[in-house]
Chains A and B, each alone.
Chain A
Amino acid sequence: MQQFIELIRQPWPWYVAGPLIGLTVPTLLLIGNKSFGISSSLRHICAACFPANISFFKYDWKKEIWNLVFVLGVFFGGMIATNFMENPNAFQLSENTMADLRALGIQDFSGLMPADLFSMEALFSLKGFIFFVLGGFMVGFGTRYAGGCTSGHAIMGLSNLQVPSLIATCCFMVGGFTMTHLLMPFIFKLF
């Protein structure tokens, strides 16, 4: 038992985590005929809180409430894993990534998120504006424009062999590479 707890507390390798994430697809389909997708929850929040008579938000969001319950679960899951299944060892990041990020000005590699960027202090600065407000806006706007995110397109869509999802997934990657390699060096020069 002690060994099992030790194992659980270690970071899980991709070949354990990936298949578990993949199993979400049949689980949701079989327990309630639900297609897997998370960015829809953002739309349901809009529909429930500020529909503003926009036709895009005029639908029966209560029928989709399972999606909001699901993301509430993801929130609690994050809480449980962080508080009760915490990794006893330091976060291991690839040496090359550390060197690259150090060159950009990131110094703190202790947590899952860089404290240099994702702290409450950074919130009301240009850094905060770019990393939280602008970044978040692009995530919300982009996923809805694309009709799904990594869960809806990359996992559910590809599982169902949908070509539009493959196109969307490729564009997600192209956008990410562009930001990381072409834009980020300039962004980090701003502060």
Chain B
Amino acid sequence: MSFQQVSPPIEQDEQPFACEAPNDMAQPESWVSNIKYLIVGVLFGIVFVKAEIISWFRIQEMFRLQSFHMYGVIGSAVVVGMISVFLIKKFNIKTLSGETVQFHPKKFQRGQIYGGLIFGLGWAITGACPGPLFAQIGSGYMAVIVTLLSAVAGTWAYGYFRDKLPN
């Protein structure tokens, strides 16, 4: 079995595991380089709070179609993301350490429908996606720790029942 590990597949169409945020860096990273991700996370968290998108009220406003704010935030984020990805692909822009940027084609699975609907129900009730959960706790809403622990439990339950679910 262990011999299979000797030559890694040249191109992986399928993701090594169903993780939407894989680490594609080929070169080993030192512990210190994690500071980069910490800084980006901090800036990201600040934007979350300053745009008030961690607010349960704003999520309600969005689902009641009573404000453009959330649609503007998500929409303009997607547009900027799209342009960036297009430019990276078009000009073959390399990472800081000179590697080719990896993109992962996603395969359609029925889980995206079932899971998406379940997440949507939870999104409206908690007023948070996974990202804002961490920012809410940082903002001092200590009760949200329970939501986070419950979300971890939900993730674990998915892993446990995965083979029995329609995927």
Write the nearest CB–CB distance from B78 to chain A, whole angstroms. 5
A116 to chain B, nearest CB (A): 10
Chain A interface residue bracket vs B: 35 or more
Query: Chain B interface mostly helix, strand, loop or mixed?
Result: helix
* A150 vs chain B, min Cβ distance (A): 4
Known: A22-B81, A100-B64. A147 touches B20 (CB 8 A): yes
A19 touches B80 (CB 8 A): yes
The verdict on A69 contacting chain B, using a C-beta distance below 8 Å, is yes
Q: How far is the CA of A60 from the CA of B140 in the complex (A)?
A: 32
Q: How far is the CB of B56 from chain A (nearest CB, A)?
A: 5
Find out whether the CB atom of A33 lies under 8 angstroms from the CB atom of B51: no
Q: Is the interface of A mostly helix, strand, loop or mixed?
A: helix
A159/B85 in contact, CB under 8 A: yes
Assess whether B155 is in contact with A43, with CB atoms less than 8 Å apart: yes
Give the chain A neighbours of B80 by CB distance below 8 A. 18-19, 21-23, 25
Q: Mark B62-93, 1 if CB is under 8 A from A, else 0.
A: 11101111111111111111101101100001
A to B CB contacts below 8 Å, 15 in the list: A18-B75, A19-B76, A26-B81, A80-B45, A94-B67, A118-B56, A128-B146, A136-B126, A136-B147, A139-B150, A140-B153, A146-B118, A156-B81, A160-B103, A171-B113
Interface residues of B (CB under 8 A from A): 16-26, 29, 33-34, 36-64, 66-82, 84-85, 87-88, 93, 95-97, 99, 101-109, 111-131, 133-144, 146-160, 162, 165
